[in-house]
Structure 1
Amino acid sequence: MASVAITPMESNFLVPNATFFVELAAFALLLFLLGKYVIPPINRAMTARQDAIRAQFAELDEAKSEAHAAEEEFKSQIADARHEAARIREEAREQGAQIIAEMREQANAEAARIVEHAHAQIEADRKAAMAQLRSEVGTLATTLAGRIVGESLEDEARQSRVVDRFLSELEGAR
């Protein structure tokens, strides 16, 4: 049986040696430096970015609500404008009908006035024609009667009576 002797040069892998402690110190130093100088700025940048994203989402939600409110207001204004346009059209239609009725009334009144004036003018012309006709017929009748009778009928009173009698006989014969 041979005895196994452990020499101080041989090391047990379970027992840490000086290299392990140097590596452990370097790792701790690296971890400290990363924790102290590298990770906090990264965390601040990530936190700032998250806050910016949250603010953008909040602004987006606010813009959406403003857009919806503006859209509703626009739709309301459009509806109001349509109602106003319909009201204006209806008023214009009513005013047009009223104007047409007034113009018809004026035209009828003007036509009646023209007809009345024409009747009056015709009556005046008829009377003037009758007066002129009486005068001419009277003169012709008295001249003719004077020739037939052989007497002069120059007397105004006699001439007037003869003409009136002749014209009344003519009117009675109608």
Structure 2
Amino acid sequence: MNENLLPFDIGPLNPSGYQILVCFVSFGIVYVLLAWRVLPRAADIVKRREEAIYGVAADAEQVRAEAETVRAEREAILAEARHEAARTRQRAHEEGLELIAAARAEGQRERARVLAEGAVEIEAARTVAEAELRADVDLWGLAMAERVVGEPLAIGSADGEGPPRTAAN
């Protein structure tokens, strides 16, 4: 009988029955070893790798969600702080306007008071000056008349008492 499996010659691609038997037995031994020892370990490694990858991905998703929550809370706090700062600025502006208005009103009152006091003082000084000038008006008139006439003139006192006065007196 022909040792080769196929009836024609194709070289080393035509194995004998003995070679096929050795190949099947070797394949069975390798398959059993792989199925019994290597494949479970490989499956365990793949399973742990997937758990690590997807577990980390799940943890990362959870951390991202927590970070998003914290960011939203922080933005809400910042927005509230901005609103509070705006309200504080508005209150300070309003208080400043009130202080300016109060200072302006106080200044107007002080100005009016100073003007009134000044008017009273001026009127008093005018009255005093007018009284002093009226007392001397007779003498000035007499001195002016003496200059015009060119001689000393004598007139009686304004109250009718005392000796007559001249411009030299």
Per the normalisation by structure 2, the TM-score is 0.67
Identity of aligned residues (%): 29
Separation in 2, partners of 1:76, 1:137: 89
Partner of 1:4: none
Quote the offset at 1:142 in angstroms.
7.4
| CA 34–137 in structure 1, closer or farther in 2 if over 3 Å, else same | same
- Post-superposition Cα deviations, 1:73-123, rounded to whole Å, max 9, x if no partner, equal 132023202311221122022112211221111111111122112112211
- Post-superposition Cα deviations, 1:18-61, rounded to whole Å, max 9, x if no partner, equal 77765443233212221233213311220111111221221222
Q: Match of 1:158, SS?
A: coil
Separation in 2, partners of 1:20, 1:137: 162
Separation in 2, partners of 1:70, 1:122: 76
When the two structures are aligned, how many residues end up with a matched partner? 143
Summarize the alignment of residues 5-16 of structure 1 with structure 2, pairs less than 5 Å apart.
Answer: none
Quote the offset at 1:63 in angstroms.
2.3
Separation in 2, partners of 1:141, 1:21: 167
Summarize the alignment of residues 1-174 of structure 1 with structure 2, pairs less than 5 Å apart.
Answer: 22-140=22-140, 147=153, 152-153=156-157, 158=161
* Structure 1 unaligned regions, length at least 5: 1-8, 160-174
In structure 1, what residue type is equivalent to 2:58? Answer: A
Structure number with greater CO (CA < 8 Å, separation at least 6) is: 1
In structure 2, what residue type is equivalent to 1:50? Answer: E
Separation in 1, partners of 2:92, 2:31: 87
* Structure 2 unaligned regions, length at least 5: 6-16, 146-151, 163-169
| CA 151–133 in structure 1, closer or farther in 2 if over 3 Å, else same | closer
Separation in 1, partners of 2:60, 2:108: 70
